[in-house]
Amino acid sequence: MIMTQDLYQPADLTLWPKGVPAKAAECREFSTLTEALQVALAAIETGRSNPWIITAAGDILAPAWIEVNAPNLLAARAPSMAMAA
């Protein structure tokens, strides 16, 4: 289960292109899970790739999980971002 504090921990994102051999995957490290989720959601919206995320705690987030849960997690984080500004 992903908790709000996990959003501030590092995460790795792998983008698996649709219709291209698996060896063409793009891997990126992010300083926060929030950043990785934002990029993953953008990838889902374009429909060109399937994003998978591995959190600092070792959780593996599949594309379907990201699509369903990321918007709520990012929205929950928004009020604390406004307070920090």
- Percent of residues, the chain, with pLDDT higher than 70: 88
pLDDT of residue 25: 87
With 0.75 as the threshold, say if the pTM is over it: yes
Question: Looking at 7-11, 23-27, 46-50, 58-62, which range is the least confident one?
Answer: 23-27
CA distances from 18 to 21, 41, 51, 57, 77 (A): 8, 15, 10, 27, 30
Residue 64's contacts (CB-CB under 8 Å, 6 or more residues apart) are: none
Strand blocks (E) in the chain? 11-17, 26-30, 49-55, 60-61
Q: What's the pLDDT tens digit per position in 5-44?
A: 899 999 999 999 888 766 778 999 999 999 999 999 999 9
Confidence of residue 85 (pLDDT cuts 50, 70, 90): very low
Residue 22's contacts (CB-CB under 8 Å, 6 or more residues apart) are: 16
User: Average of pLDDT values for 35-56?
Assistant: 96
Number of Cβ within 10 Å of residue 78's Cβ equals 9
19 — phi, psi (to 5°)? 75, 15
Domain boundaries, the chain: 4-84
